[in-house]
Amino acid sequence: MSEDMIISAKKAAACKAVDDFVKDGQIIGIGSGSTIVFAVEKLAQRVRNEHLKVTCIPTSFQARQLILQNQLTLGDLETNPRVDVAIDGADEVDDCLTLIKGGGGCLTQEKIVASCASTFVVICDDGKDSRHLGEKYKKGIPIEVIPFAYVPIRNKIETRFGGNVELRMAKAKAGPVVTDNGNFILDWKFSTTPHPPIDSWNEVNKELKMIPGVVETGLFVSMASCVLIGMSDGSVKEKASKAL
């Protein structure tokens, strides 16, 4: 898809999510990433036009700034621990609605907010839609880790699961990327041969989380309530899980 088509697809998915799932009086989780910009703009438009009263819970510094810039009501999980609907993007979604998230480094807070939501709506363009994880997204599964432990964690993942684990380096400064939580991110580029390489991402996620020093993974398993995929022609399809 051209850049204009990608933007059109993202905007279509974002607008449908806000139109279909946001209601007056709700607590709304606001995700991170480029697609979320369109969702927040649409939400702000609805608030102005329909005089909705909603409170927005950010998943990152970027999301917080978007909420404030669009003059929406900012909240937090301390005062609003139950979220009605969370809207967020994804780097990839497979046929079981398992997600890879964290390309922007906000995976931990994104997963916390999603876990507090009664409904978790995922929005993305068609370029993120895959049959199996790793089919289109080649940057690996992000894993947030305590800086002290990144080398042993890297070694344990490569020994147990194979593939290649890399410390994510910053592009505009010297040194590694540091998350909003003050941690590092490892990107696990898992093997996609033989295909599909892994039968249960749920079990993999559990094993990764058990490694001391791992804060959170970018594997979102059995969390998405709905995945809305924007198409190049501006239409939106809902992806249903093919899990047995």
Domains and CATH numbers, the chain: 3-126+221-232 (3.40.50.1360), 141-213 (3.30.70.260)
**pLDDT of 3 above 90:** no
Reading phi first (left if > 0) and then psi (alpha if -120 to 50, else beta), residue 222 is in: left
Please, what is the end-to-end C-alpha distance for the chain in angstroms?
32
Cis peptide bond upstream of 58, omega within 30: no
Reading phi first (left if > 0) and then psi (alpha if -120 to 50, else beta), residue 106 is in: alpha
Which residues are designated catalytic? 110
**pTM (2 d.p.):** 0.94
Q: Which of 102-106, 116-120, 172-176, 177-181 has the lowest mean pLDDT?
A: 172-176
The mean pLDDT of 22-42, rounded to a whole number, is 97
pLDDT score recorded for residue 244: 44
Q: What mean pLDDT value characterizes the chain?
A: 94
pLDDT score recorded for residue 243: 58
- Give the whole-number percent of the chain exceeding pLDDT 70: 96
pLDDT score recorded for residue 2: 82
Beta bridge partners, 29, equal 57, 86
